[in-house]
C-alpha cells in the first residue's frame, strides 16, 4: 500500500517534540527534534571528549543519560573528566556502562524509566563489538523517542570507516569538533556562523597560533 502524501498544510500541522535548548546551546544547535540521531566527530585532541561530557551534563536537565563508554571504559581519564565537569552534580540522571552488547542495551532501554539519551563512545569500538550498521539502525528505529548520540573517530577529517560514514548521513544533528570549538553541521542550527566554545583558553591558544603562522 502506498504511503500517504502530505500537503504543506498537513506538514505544518504535525506536532513534533523538540529538545528545549537554551542560551548558547540553542544559538549553536537550535532545538533538535526529540529522538533524532546525533553524530559527533573530531580529530584527537580537538576537545571532542570534553564537549561530549558538557553535552551529557546539559542533557541531564532534560532526562536520564546513559553513557556507553566502550573506547575509554571507566579508567583514569574518565575519572578526571567526570571530576572536571562536576558530574556528581547530576548523579541521579547520569549513568555509565561499559557493556558493548547491543542486545543487552536494547533490553535495558526497553525497561520503564530507562535513559532518554544514549551516548555511544565510540561507534568504531561499538562496531567491533557487533554493532553492524543495520543492527544499529534497527536499534534506533526500535526506540524512536530516544536520542542516540554517536561519537566517531576521524581519519584525515572524515569519519573512520564506511559504517561510520553511513551513520553520519543518518544523523539529523552532525557536530564536528576542531580547535576546542564544536560546529553544528546538522539541520537545526540557529546560526551557521555560531560555534560552541569547548575550552576558551585552549581555543585561544589554537587560533592565536594559526593567526601567527
Query: For residue 106, which of 145, 129, 65, 139 has the smallest C-alpha distance?
Result: 139
C-alpha cell at 181: 570549538
Burial 25-47 (b: 16+ CB within 10 A, else e): bbbbbbbbebbbbbbbbbbeebb
For residue 192, pLDDT over 90 is answered with no
DSSP result, 128-173: HTT--HHHHHHHHHHTTTSEEEEEE-EETTEESSHHHHHHHHH-SE
8-50 pLDDT tens trace: 898 888 888 999 999 999 989 999 999 999 999 999 889 999 9
CA 123, 124, 127: angle at the middle one, nearest 5? 80
Domain residue ranges in the chain? 35-212
Position 204 scores a pLDDT of: 81
Instruction: Report how far residue 147's alpha carbon sits from residue 150's, in angstroms, rounded to the nearest whole number.
Output: 10
For residue 131, pLDDT over 80 is answered with yes
CATH of 35-212 among 3.80.10.10, 3.90.1720.10, 3.40.50.300, 1.10.579.10? 3.40.50.300
Task: Please identify which residue in the block is written with the cell numbers 523517542.
Answer: 145
For residue 7, pLDDT over 90 is answered with no
With cut-offs at 50, 70 and 90, classify the pLDDT of residue 211.
low
Position 191 scores a pLDDT of: 62
Q: What is the DSSP letter of 179?
A: T
71-126 pLDDT tens trace: 999 999 999 999 999 999 999 999 999 999 999 999 999 999 999 999 999 999 99
Average pLDDT of the residues of the chain: 92
Amino acid at each position: 500500500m502506498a504511503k500517504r502524501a502530505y500537503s504543506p498544510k498537513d506538514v505544518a500541522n504535525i506536532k513534533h517534540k523538540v529538545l528545549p535548548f537554551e542560551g548558547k546551546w540553542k544559538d549553536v544547535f537550535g532545538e533538535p527534534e526529540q529522538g533524532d540521531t546525533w553524530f559527533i566527530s573530531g580529530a584527537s585532541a580537538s576537545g571532542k571528549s570534553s564537549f561530549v561530557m558538557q553535552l551529557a551534563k546539559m542533557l541531564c536537565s532534560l532526562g536520564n543519560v546513559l553513557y556507553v563508554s566502550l573506547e575509554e571504559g571507566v579508567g583514569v581519564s574518565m575519572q578526571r573528566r567526570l571530576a572536571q565537569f562536576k558530574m556528581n552534580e547530576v548523579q541521579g540522571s547520569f549513568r555509565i556502562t561499559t557493556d558493548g552488547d547491543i542486545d543487552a542495551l536494547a533490553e535495558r532501554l526497553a525497561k520503564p524509566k530507562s535513559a532518554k539519551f544514549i551516548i555511544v563512545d565510540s561507534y568504531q569500538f561499538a562496531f567491533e563489538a557487533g554493532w553492524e550498521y543495520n543492527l544499529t539502525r534497527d536499534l534506533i528505529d526500535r526506540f524512536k523517542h530516544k536520542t542516540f548520540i554517536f561519537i566517531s573517530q576521524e581519519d584525515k577529517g572524515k569519519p573512520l570507516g564506511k559504517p561510520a560514514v553511513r551513520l553520519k548521513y543518518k544523523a539529523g544533528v552532525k557536530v564536528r569538533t576542531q580547535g576546542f570549538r564544536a560546529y553544528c553541521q546538522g539541520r537545526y542550527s540557529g546560526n551557521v556562523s555560531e560555534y560552541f566554545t569547548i575550552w576558551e583558553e585552549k581555543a585561544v591558544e589554537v587560533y592565536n597560533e594559526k593567526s601567527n603562522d
